[in-house]
């Protein structure tokens, strides 16, 4: 069902009449080019790239961003970009990264994780885990406060954030993670076999896009042999996770799984900050000047500030 009447008017110029190509293997090169993003460099920010060696001889790129005025150890925001596990780079999230970096005295580290379907789960998960370990190993050399680490992500990046937090909890890793921020998160692959939401997913990203993304990330759909680190909605319990910020649009196809995840977090005693934005589809924060985006960013910064004790 078309939901144009529900769309926030401030988002109409971004979504109404915009191209909405299907996700296919043939389209991936074009889609990746379109979602490559813009340079992060700003005069008031120090931006550096580091390359972490993988066991297969390739290198993982991470982008480190901080205010030039920051001195001494600073808390860390470890960021995972959106893109359905199949698209995107840290530069896809330039606007988000710059907003956080300019407003909070922290270090941002965004991970250029490997993409599916060429690199299905656990490649992206392992890359982000490697970045987390790098932070701990190099905290002194780079002035990181490794006892104050936030995990932040949007869309597929938010899924990875949840999976990393679950793994660290289960393996009792002394990780320094003090909170999570997850925006419009695909959290449960099983939703791909449920009836399509009547008022979500007809504008922008839809059910077929999400199904293709999940199949690319997991290698096949449906399957009962899926790790909760890949599909956090499958986790038996969520108790023991750090405080969570969850945000999604009311006409986003992932709305139901976000509401279900929030309810489970609350029932398991996890401090949960849930926000649903009326009239907002998936990826609504690309409309930088829209009031819903301004509000989202303010609420996210407040959550980061509380968790990082800033």
Helices (H) and strands (E) in the chain, counts: 9, 8
Strands 107-111 and 144-154: unpaired
User: Cα–chain-centroid distance for residue 207?
Assistant: 19
Relative orientation angle of helices 156-170 and 123-137, to the nearest 10 degrees: 60
Domain count, the chain: 1
Q: Give percent of the chain above pLDDT 90.
A: 88
Please tell me the predicted confidence (pLDDT) of residue 18: 82
197 is catalytic: no
CA distance 74 to 225: 40
Catalytic residue among 93, 155, 185, 231: 155
- Residues of the chain above pLDDT 70, percent: 99
The catalytically annotated residue of 79, 209, 282, 303 is 282
- 143: buried, middle or exposed (CB in 10 Å: 19+, 13-18, 0-12)? middle
* pLDDT reported for residue 3: 64
- DSSP-derived 3-state class of residue 183: strand
pLDDT digits (tens, 9 = 90+) for 117-149: 999 999 999 999 999 999 999 999 999 999 999
CB 226 within 8 A of CB 117: no
Mean pLDDT of the chain: 95
Catalytic residue among 142, 252, 275, 285: 252
Per-residue model confidence (pLDDT) at position 90: 98
Can you list the positions of beta strands (E) in 23-101? 45-53, 59-67, 74-80
Q: Is the pLDDT of residue 165 over 60?
A: yes
Pairing of strands 144-154, 177-183: parallel
Q: What is the CA radius of gyration of the chain?
A: 18
Closest CA to 50 of 36, 68, 66: 66
CATH number at residue 205: 3.40.50.1820
Tell me whether residue 112 is one of the annotated catalytic residues: no
- 283-309 residue pLDDT tens: 999 999 999 999 999 999 999 999 999
State yes or no: pLDDT of 2 exceeds 80: no
Q: What pLDDT, on the 0 to 100 scale, is given for residue 224? A: 84
Residue 16 banded pLDDT, cuts 50, 70, 90: confident
86 is in which domain, residue-wise? Answer: 4-307
List for the chain the helix, strand, coil content (%; round to 5).
Answer: 40, 20, 45
Among the listed residues 287, 241, 251, 258, the one whose alpha carbon sits nearest the alpha carbon of residue 184: 258
Q: Which residue has the higher pLDDT, 112 or 201?
A: 112
Alpha helices in the chain (DSSP H): 12-15, 28-34, 94-103, 123-137, 139-142, 156-170, 207-218, 255-267, 291-307
3-state secondary structure of 150: strand
> What is the widest separation between alpha-carbon atoms in the chain?
54
Question: Contact 110/63 with Cβ under 8 angstroms?
Answer: yes
pLDDT at 190 over 60: yes
- In DSSP terms, 181 is beta-bridged to 152, 245
Residues contacting residue 120 through CB under 8 Å, at least 6 positions apart: 216, 217, 218, 219
Give the Cα separation of 207 and 175 in Å (integer): 35
Q: Under a CB-based contact definition with an 8 Å cutoff, are residues 79 and 109 in contact?
A: yes
- Is residue 252 flagged as an active site residue? yes
């Amino acid at each position: 069902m078309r939901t144009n009447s529900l769309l926030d008017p401030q988002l109409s110029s971004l979504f109404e009449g915009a191209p909405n190509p299907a996700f296919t293997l043939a389209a991936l090169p074009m889609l990746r080019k379109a979602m490559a993003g813009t340079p992060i460099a700003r005069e008031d920010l120090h931006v550096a790239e580091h390359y972490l060696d993988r066991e297969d001889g390739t290198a993982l790129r991470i982008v480190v961003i901080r205010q030039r005025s920051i001195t001494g150890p600073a808390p860390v925001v470890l960021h995972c970009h959106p893109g359905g596990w199949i698209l995107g780079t840290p530069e896809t999230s330039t606007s988000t990264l710059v907003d956080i970096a300019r407003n909070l005295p922290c270090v941002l580290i965004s991970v250029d994780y490997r993409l599916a379907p060429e690199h299905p789960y656990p490649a992206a998960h392992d890359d982000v885990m490697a970045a987390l370990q790098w932070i701990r190993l190099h905290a002194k050399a780079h002035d990181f406060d490794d006892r104050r680490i936030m995990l932040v992500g949007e869309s597929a990046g938010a899924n990875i954030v949840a999976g990393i937090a679950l793994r660290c909890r289960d393996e009792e890793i002394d990780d320094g993670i003090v909170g999570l921020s997850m925006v419009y998160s695909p959290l449960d692959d099983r939703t791909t076999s449920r009836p399509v939401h009547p008022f979500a997913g007809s504008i922008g990203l839809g059910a077929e896009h999400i199904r293709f993304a999940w199949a690319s990330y997991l290698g096949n759909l449906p399957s009962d042999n899926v790790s909760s680190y890949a599909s956090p909605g499958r986790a038996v319990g969520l108790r023991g996770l750090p405080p969570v910020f969850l945000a999604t649009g009311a006409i986003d196809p992932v709305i139901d799984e976000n509401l279900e995840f929030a309810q489970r977090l609350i029932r398991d005693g996890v401090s949960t900050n849930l926000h649903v934005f009326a009239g907002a589809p998936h990826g609504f924060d690309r409309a930088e000047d829209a009031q819903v985006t301004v509000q989202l960013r303010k609420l996210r910064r407040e959550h980061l500030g509380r968790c990082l004790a800033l």
